[in-house]
């Protein structure tokens, strides 16, 4: 009798086994001659060697499907275990998918400029993406980063922002430095939670494969084999931009995102992002994409709100704004 121990790495047993172990029981039923014992992320299989090998082969295919889609489906189990397919051909597969979210949802470029961003990423190691709030700049960048990490194109993801307050003071927030900064970095956490199961994300962060830190923490580092995103870059000075961009190491991908209409620096002219884009725009290997109101995919009102603010800011007498009641 053969014995095999299989460890489910980067797999959430709850989602992999299914509600009330429905998926696990369906798989086990296909191998009635085997004794299969599951203890969290560890499987022990006992039986004839040929049956054990067959079980392991099918399980590896199912785990690969899980890593790509972020979930197990009845269709995948049927194909692998009942139709004896070598791999799963998902009828719901979307060829344009960047990554499958933590709930199995498809995350892909949905607007012309998001698609342009993905295309430019393929041929450039440094990419600037500038545009209004809600246009999907950061979300698309993080989706590209998660895809690169899953496919082992890079060894780690680093997300960073300049620690500039938008009308509030970090010093008055309770807690230590991390607790003060976490709320400010929360949008980055939110995007990652959309794309990675909570337990897997927690493990990746513990092991340093996913890092989130203020821009100042980048000084002195050389970032090799990393996918690095600088978000809210309109709040970085020219000196900070130079410091960040010169961190680029071997086999690194950098994306810089920002909205030049939302500069929170005391003097808006100190923003280094537009200056960098002007200086670096003609260098081969650097791509640039400008998003617009048409790319906004939040609530329908957001696009109208952005348009209203743009119209007001372009008025000669914009300093004397008076709201009209409806």
| CATH topology (fold) of 2-82 | Ribosomal Protein S8; Chain: A, domain 1 (3.30.1370)
If you average pLDDT over every residue of the chain, what do you get? Answer: 83
Domain-by-domain residue ranges, the chain? 2-82, 98-313
Lowest mean pLDDT among 65-69, 94-98, 229-233, 322-326: 322-326
Provide the pLDDT for residue 167. 43
pLDDT of 275 over the 90 cut: yes
pLDDT tens-digit profile of 90-147? 554 555 788 877 666 788 888 999 999 999 999 999 999 999 888 899 999 999 999 9
H/E segment holding residue 193:
helix 177-195
Position 326 confidence tier, pLDDT thresholds 50, 70, 90: very low
Identify each DSSP E strand in the chain by its residue range.
2-7, 35-39, 42-47, 97-100, 106-108, 126-130, 156-161, 210-214, 226-230, 253-258, 286-290
Lowest mean pLDDT among 83-87, 109-113, 194-198, 230-234: 83-87
Average pLDDT of the residues in 264-285: 92
pLDDT of 170 over the 60 cut: no
Provide the pLDDT for residue 166. 45
Contact predicate 9/23, CB 8 Å: no
Percent of the chain beyond pLDDT 70?
Answer: 85
Q: What is the pTM of this model?
A: 0.70
CATH superfamily of 98-313: P-loop containing nucleotide triphosphate hydrolases (3.40.50.300)
């Amino acid at each position: 009798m053969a014995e095999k121990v299989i460890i489910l790495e980067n797999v959430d047993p709850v989602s992999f086994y299914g509600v009330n172990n429905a998926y696990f029981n369906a798989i086990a039923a296909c191998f009635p001659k085997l004794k299969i014992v599951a203890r969290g992320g560890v499987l022990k299989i006992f039986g004839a060697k040929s049956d054990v090998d067959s079980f392991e082969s099918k399980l590896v295919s199912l785990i690969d499907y899980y890593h790509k889609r972020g979930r197990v489906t009845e269709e995948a189990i049927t194909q692998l275990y009942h139709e004896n397919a070598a791999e799963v051909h998902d009828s719901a597969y979307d060829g344009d998918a960047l990554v499958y979210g933590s709930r199995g949802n498809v995350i892909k470029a949905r607007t012309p400029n998001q698609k342009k961003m993905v295309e430019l990423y393929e041929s450039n190691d440094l990419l600037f993406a500038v545009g209004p709030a809600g246009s999907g700049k950061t979300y698309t960048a993080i989706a590209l980063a998660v895809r690169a990490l899953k496919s082992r194109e890079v060894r780690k993801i680093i997300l960073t922002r300049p620690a500039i307050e938008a009308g509030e003071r970090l010093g008055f927030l309770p807690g230590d430095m991390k607790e003060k900064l976490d709320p400010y970095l929360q949008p980055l956490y939110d995007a990652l939670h959309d794309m990675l199961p909570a337990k897997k994300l927690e493990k990746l962060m513990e092991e340093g494969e996913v890092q989130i830190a203020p821009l100042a923490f980048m000084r002195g580092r050389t970032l090799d084999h990393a996918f690095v995103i600088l978000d809210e870059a309109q709040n970085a000075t020219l000196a900070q931009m130079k410091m960040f961009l010169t961190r680029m190491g071997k086999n690194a991908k950098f994306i810089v995102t920002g909205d030049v209409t939302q500069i929170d620096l005391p003097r808006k002219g100190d923003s280094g992002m537009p200056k960098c884009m002007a200086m670096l725009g003609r260098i081969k290997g650097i791509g640039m994409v400008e998003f617009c109101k048409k790319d906004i995919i939040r609530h329908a009102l957001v696009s109208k709100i952005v348009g209203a603010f743009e119209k007001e800011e372009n008025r000669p007498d914009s300093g004397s704004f008076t709201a009209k009641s409806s």
